[in-house]
Structure 1
Amino acid sequence: MNPKEKFVRESRTVKSSVVLPPDTNNHGTLFGGKLMAYIDDVAAISAIRHARCNVVTASTDSVDFLHPIRVGNSVCLESYVTWTHKTSMEVFVKITSENLFTGERKVCAVSFLTFVALGEDGKPTPVPKAVPESEEEKWLHQGAEERAVNRRKRKESSKKLAEEFGTQKPWEF
């Protein structure tokens, strides 16, 4: 393998925990914000494993909550780098819940995040190419460039919104 390449599996990260009452809302389900923090954490570990340097979150694609994650269930997050550009990496995260008493499992959410690798000078630095092996990895890798194009379009739209609304004080609206 070329030193400028890494297998996708080398960045794979899995994190599981039990959903406890302090982690839940008034419906007895995991707070969405708590899950989003878990997603960013596990995805950052995958990105660092791939780049072997500091990284920053550049974007998070939408997180669609498909099923609630209830108190007492386990939540398992699995992530890995699916694609790389020059200094950036796309990371896929799959979130599964499990009823620990029945064994029933559900994919509750999926998300894509983009990370940028940083050199010791704090500036973007090149990352190794991600090499997919499994069918799932190849399928995600194939769609990555199109997702990257969509992210760039979304970022331009966000920039326009930021310019339009600026930094007015709340009472100036």
Structure 2
Amino acid sequence: MKKYKTAKESRVSITELMLPSHSNFGGKVHGGHILNLMDQIAFACASKHSQAYCVTASVNRVNFLNPIEVGELVTLKASINYTGRTSMVVGVRVESENVKTGKTKHCNSSYFTMVAKDGEGNNISIPGLIVNDKNGLRRFARSKERKLSASDRDSKYRSKKFQVNEYLHFLEGENVQLNLEQ
């Protein structure tokens, strides 16, 4: 196995026609179907990079920017943005295309943290990432910063450390009623 790989070596994409069976009650493609496709392509990209079975550890911020219509082609693109020792961040971009007009729209972007596993389910080391352009550096730095801020946020809100008085101002102007049981 190589010690380092470029993002290009692990990049994958898929295109799928959206069928009526993929629709929700509103007639648009169900977000759950798109999430399933995103998880599959993140798995494929991470497995290609690590040459191992990978599992999804977390998904960062899924925003549905534009609806996807039945009959449109959906293209998902995945690329390695960051590598740690056993985990990697896979950037996934979702675009739809109207086959009649050729018009495309960006529907979603998200970041999947994937962990490489051996046959017994233990974490295994993965190849590092060769960053060879400004965009690659930007993606790596953004993923690293997202990882650090998530860690800070998680520790800040641990129940043993949480101080109620420090966060009461968060409720001002919100649609909430505070009724703490003592």
Paired positions, count = 159
1:41-80 superposed matches below 5 A = 41-80=40-79
Q: TM-score, normalised by structure 2?
A: 0.81
> RMSD of the alignment, in Å?
1.9
Partner deviation per Cα, 1:116-154 (whole Å, 9 max, x = no partner) = 111233211111111233443332112111011133345
Quickly say closer, same or farther: Cα 1:108–1:20, change in 2 above 3 A: same
Aligned to 1:89: 88
Partner deviation per Cα, 1:14-66 (whole Å, 9 max, x = no partner) = 01111111101122211011110000000000000000011111000111000
Aligned to 1:117: 116
> Distance in 2 between the 1:40 and 1:74 partners?
18
Quickly say closer, same or farther: Cα 1:82–1:55, change in 2 above 3 A: same
Larger Cα Rg: Structure 1 or Structure 2?
2
1:1-173 superposed matches below 5 A = 3-153=2-152
Partner amino acid for 2:100? F
Quickly say closer, same or farther: Cα 1:158–1:32, change in 2 above 3 A: farther
Quickly say closer, same or farther: Cα 1:135–1:104, change in 2 above 3 A: farther
Q: Which moved more, 1:145-154 or 1:123-132?
A: 145-154
Aligned to 1:166: none
Q: TM-score, normalised by structure 1?
A: 0.85
Quickly say closer, same or farther: Cα 1:158–1:104, change in 2 above 3 A: farther
Please give the secondary structure, in 2, of the residue aligned with 1:40.
helix
> Distance in 2 between the 1:63 and 1:158 partners?
22
Unaligned regions of 5+ residues in structure 1, if any?
Answer: 161-173
Partner amino acid for 1:152? S
> Distance in 1 between the 2:104 and 2:135 partners?
19
> Distance in 2 between the 1:81 and 1:117 partners?
13
Q: Which moved more, 1:81-90 or 1:144-153?
A: 144-153
> Distance in 1 between the 2:121 and 2:24 partners?
38
Quickly say closer, same or farther: Cα 1:157–1:78, change in 2 above 3 A: farther
Please give the secondary structure, in 2, of the residue aligned with 1:91.
strand
Unaligned regions of 5+ residues in structure 2, if any?
Answer: 160-182
> Distance in 2 between the 1:147 and 1:82 partners?
12
